[in-house]
Structure 1
Amino acid sequence: MRSVHIKYIHFITMCVLLMFAAQTVAKNTIKNVRISPSAESTRVVFDLSKKPDFSYFVLQKPLRLVVDFENTKRLPKLPTIPKSHRVISKIRYSTPKKRSSTRVVFELNRPTKPVIFALAPTGKSSDRLVVDLYGQKKPVATKSASKKRNVKRDRDIIIAIDAGHGGQDPGSIGPTGTYEKHITLQIAKRLERLINKQPGMKAQLTRSGDYFLKLNTRTAKARKKRADFFVSIHADAFSSPRPRGASVWTLSLRRANSEIGKWLENREKQSQLLGGAAGVLKDTENEKYLAKTLLDMSMDHSMKTGFQVAEQVVGELQKVAKLHKKRPQAANFGVLKSPDIPSILVETGFISNPQEEKQLKTAYHQQRLANAVFVAIKRYYQKNPPDDSLFARLKEKKPLHHKVRRGESLSVLAARYGTTVSALKRANRLKNNILHVGQVLTIPKA
């Protein structure tokens, strides 16, 4: 009898263990996988039925990122990667250590910095695991870089143009479904073309397509291009459809005191969390760094320049659009916080207003807005040019000379310096249109 009793206890124990095992196996499920590539990084989002329990590691030769999902059922098929992808070549499954787990392998094209974090459910979104992969470039030796660096004269004034939002962050959405991210990019590209046609000025877009950039990446790209000025293009929104009109914003050391300003500050923070939660979580020292930097003279100069340009832009915008505010407004926007680059944020109108949404979608109105911003920035730098710029040389009314390089012609040089072919020929006593490499020309006043 005792042996029967022991067998019965073993049987009950096994049943209990199997019940517990059944409960622990495949607690979670991968429901969907989304991929969002951009110029420098790729975001992969795993939509899950529950909060993920995960771990990861990187392997070399060949480069791979391995992510393990504990007690998780796999998705039957993973998405394929386009051939032109810059960071990932393939996503595939591999054999996990435990049967109940799922192992995902990212085959990488180049050295990559992975940032991986979980997001809790929000609205219609379920639990998610976000994998951000940032492509890393080989560092350039400081000594060789310093040898090649030359001080330029008659340089172009660099204007960084930032089209707000992008990628998985659409920005505000108008009554008929217009995305702010599309409007801002269209206006930014129109402004880029105007600036690049102006001799002595050059535009640099922070994003040229529909992809997401973190706020610190936007200003870092401007800094890398040695931008003299940073203008961020947005389309306003509010909780009601009534507000309308364009406005120009500069950095404030304090919180905005207007209701619209507070709404916009909160909206920008939400967008940052939506598209770049990793940056928010990792850059907690940013505010401490910013508080110290604001005391520096460079920030004082940047804020002063930003406000002066903002006044010029408001003056030009009122000629082509209704204004929400007739003076530049101040708010604590993250995209304006670069201490070394003067910056403004232009709200081109309220996309939440049905009439302005319709207007912002038209090429005609977009061009007028871009032209207003261009004229204002150009006018400011004609009066306040950097010392080593072409604008400074023209302002000083000193004789301007140009050494002819291969491929240059009189018509090309006339377009660059804002003069005519006949004026160039007169100033240099040329009998024909033939130029020689190394020939030095005197450039007449425009």
Structure 2
Amino acid sequence: MINRLVMLLACVSLWLVNVTQAADIKGVRLWRAPDNTRLVFDLSGPVDHKIFELENPDRLVIDIKQAKLKSALSELTLSNTPINKVRHGKRNGHDLRVVLDLKTAVRPRSFVLKPNQTYGDRLVIDLYDRNVKPIVKSAPQVAITSSGRVGRDIIIAVDAGHGGDDPGAIGYRGLREKDVVLKIARRLHQLFAREPGFKSFLVREGDYYVGLRQRTVIARQRRADLFVSIHADAFKNRRANGASVFAISQRGATSETARWLASRENSSDLIGGVGNVSLSDKDATLAGVLLDLSMTATLTSSLEAGGQVLRQMGQISRLHKRHVEQAGFLVLKSPDIPSILVETGFITNPIDGKKLGTGSHQERLALAVFNGIKKYFYQSPPANTYVAQLKQRGPVRGGPTRYVIQRGDTLSEIASRYNVSVSSLRSRNKLKADRIRIGQILHIPN
């Protein structure tokens, strides 16, 4: 009788262990990036898994132990991905097998992620395209002045933070940081596209994730002269508000808020599983000297560019700090490219969050960043650029060609500030009178 009871208890214990190890797949999400496709399984708990490839035809098999599918795979949008069809079935009575029928061969990678503030346990499957051509470092694009002088464009890397499986901060009425900053980044990119002597590109063009280190790699491959990363603050105190500009710190953060923000942004790379950059091919002493010299020069430029942007931001928004802050953001750690991170406001603050969700405020923010960057480069243009050629020909105003009206401004005072006539200012903006309003954007005649 005792032996039977012991055996029964052992069976019950084994059954309980199996139950606790089982996990449900609560949802499946898919993103397409320029060179890969990411498939994310949202889980009710941790799982063990393995993947393997099959050929003729190309397939990827995903075996997940002790798992049950509670989400419809048929709802996934497979267009513009290497996946033709997704099938699933039971394996060994208690495991789940998912089969991806592929249009073409891929380079797969898989890993699991622990819960964070936004998601629970996840299984991530990355499918890297095999036919992607590497980015070639081509000669910089040039512009030709009216005098026949040649100068290259100044290249700006515009980086929208977060993306894909990483929504960033969640703020006013469910507003997601990744959506807001992409809209601002696109507007900033459009402004540079219309500006002679400048050229920009978007590091993240759509709703997909790019690793923090990879963002700086992309900027270096495209020969960027400045890297500007657009974000929206979040803080545990919802009363925190205002815009900020950050540069990298060699000694750590300069305030408690900066430290907290740096920790939050850096944790994004846990989602991407991105590796680090090293100088392992250099002698340790030489690598240290090179990095120190490069970072010192780059940091100086970053602080100067950030200061110009911060001054322009202060014209349209309250500033959280009136100086460029410094913190250990991974996305700023490029030793050879001046880099700044612009926090456009606190998305967790009801007032800031409401404004960040409007197109008009996004336009003003993009314009402020544009004006600050342009003013910095007109003061300190890189050699052999179109802007440097203009500066050599004579005095260049270098200020913004667009101005956002602030409280207390008058048309005559603005005309005097930019050394233009009131009539030309009125004509350029098709004004019938001298009446202007706060937030209105004026185009300054050349």
Q: TM-score higher than 0.5 here?
A: yes
Given that residues 35 and 42 in structure 1 are in contact (C-alpha distance below 8 angstroms), is that contact kept between their aligned partners in structure 2?
A: no
Does 1:105 find its partner at 2:99? yes
Given that residues 26 and 44 in structure 2 are in contact (C-alpha distance below 8 angstroms), is that contact kept between their aligned partners in structure 1?
A: no
Number of the residue aligned with 2:146: none
2:82 to 65, 84, 87: 87
Q: Check 1:105–1:368 CA distance in 2 against 1; reply closer, same or farther (3 A cut).
A: same
Number of the residue aligned with 1:28: 22
Number of the residue aligned with 1:52: 47
Could you say which structure has the larger radius of gyration?
1
Offset of residue 95 of structure 1: 7.6
2:354 to 353, 358, 361: 358
Does 1:240 find its partner at 2:237? yes
2:338 to 324, 342, 353: 342
Offset of residue 161 of structure 1: 0.7
Given that residues 37 and 85 in structure 1 are in contact (C-alpha distance below 8 angstroms), is that contact kept between their aligned partners in structure 2?
A: no
1:64 to 47, 56, 59: 59
Number of aligned positions between the proteins = 380
Amino acid at match of 2:183: Q
Q: Check 1:186–1:201 CA distance in 2 against 1; reply closer, same or farther (3 A cut).
A: same
SS in 1 for 2:295: helix
Equivalent residues in 2 for 1:196-211 (5 A)? 196-211=193-208
1:180 to 162, 173, 177: 177
Given that residues 291 and 335 in structure 2 are in contact (C-alpha distance below 8 angstroms), is that contact kept between their aligned partners in structure 1?
A: no
Q: Which whole-Å CA distance do the structure 2 matches of 1:102 and 1:94 have between them?
A: 6
Q: Which whole-Å CA distance do the structure 2 matches of 1:24 and 1:240 have between them?
A: 42
Q: Deviations over 1:282-309 (max 9, x none)?
A: x266698999567253333322211110
Does 1:227 find its partner at 2:227? no
Q: Check 1:254–1:208 CA distance in 2 against 1; reply closer, same or farther (3 A cut).
A: same
Does 1:250 find its partner at 2:247? yes
Q: Check 1:176–1:121 CA distance in 2 against 1; reply closer, same or farther (3 A cut).
A: closer
Q: Deviations over 1:63-92 (max 9, x none)?
A: 322111234445585235435223322221
Given that residues 241 and 346 in structure 2 are in contact (C-alpha distance below 8 angstroms), is that contact kept between their aligned partners in structure 1?
A: yes
Equivalent residues in 2 for 1:407-422 (5 A)? none
RMSD: 3.6
Amino acid at match of 1:237: A
SS in 1 for 2:98: strand
Given that residues 36 and 211 in structure 1 are in contact (C-alpha distance below 8 angstroms), is that contact kept between their aligned partners in structure 2?
A: no
Does 1:367 find its partner at 2:363? yes
Equivalent residues in 2 for 1:127-166 (5 A)? 127-138=121-132, 153-166=150-163
Q: Which whole-Å CA distance do the structure 2 matches of 1:298 and 1:29 have between them?
A: 49
2:308 to 300, 305, 312: 312
Q: Which whole-Å CA distance do the structure 2 matches of 1:16 and 1:242 have between them?
A: 56
Given that residues 32 and 48 in structure 1 are in contact (C-alpha distance below 8 angstroms), is that contact kept between their aligned partners in structure 2?
A: yes
SS in 1 for 2:321: coil
Q: Which whole-Å CA distance do the structure 2 matches of 1:54 and 1:230 have between them?
A: 38
TM-score normalised by the chain length of structure 1: 0.74
2:392 to 392, 396, 405: 396
1:262 to 259, 264, 275: 259
Q: Check 1:241–1:132 CA distance in 2 against 1; reply closer, same or farther (3 A cut).
A: same
Given that residues 141 and 152 in structure 2 are in contact (C-alpha distance below 8 angstroms), is that contact kept between their aligned partners in structure 1?
A: no
Shifted more, 190-199 versus 31-40: the winner is 31-40
Number of the residue aligned with 1:417: none
Number of the residue aligned with 2:320: 324
Offset of residue 336 of structure 1: 0.5
Number of the residue aligned with 1:167: 164
Offset of residue 365 of structure 1: 2.4
Offset of residue 211 of structure 1: 2.4
Amino acid at match of 2:297: H
Given that residues 118 and 129 in structure 1 are in contact (C-alpha distance below 8 angstroms), is that contact kept between their aligned partners in structure 2?
A: yes
Q: Check 1:15–1:330 CA distance in 2 against 1; reply closer, same or farther (3 A cut).
A: closer
Structure 1 gap segments, 5+ residues each: 1-8, 399-445
SS in 2 for 1:221: helix
Q: Check 1:199–1:151 CA distance in 2 against 1; reply closer, same or farther (3 A cut).
A: closer
TM-score normalised by the chain length of structure 2: 0.74
Q: Which whole-Å CA distance do the structure 2 matches of 1:118 and 1:69 have between them?
A: 11
Q: Check 1:203–1:102 CA distance in 2 against 1; reply closer, same or farther (3 A cut).
A: same
Amino acid at match of 2:330: G
Shifted more, 57-66 versus 318-327: the winner is 57-66
Q: Check 1:241–1:159 CA distance in 2 against 1; reply closer, same or farther (3 A cut).
A: same
Offset of residue 149 of structure 1: 5.6
SS in 2 for 1:346: strand
SS in 1 for 2:291: coil
Instruction: Give % identity.
Output: 41
Q: Which whole-Å CA distance do the structure 2 matches of 1:353 and 1:288 have between them?
A: 44
Offset of residue 250 of structure 1: 0.1
Offset of residue 160 of structure 1: 0.9
Offset of residue 122 of structure 1: 4.9
Q: Which whole-Å CA distance do the structure 1 matches of 2:70 and 2:29 have between them?
A: 15
Q: Which whole-Å CA distance do the structure 2 matches of 1:115 and 1:364 have between them?
A: 41
SS in 1 for 2:340: strand
SS in 2 for 1:79: helix
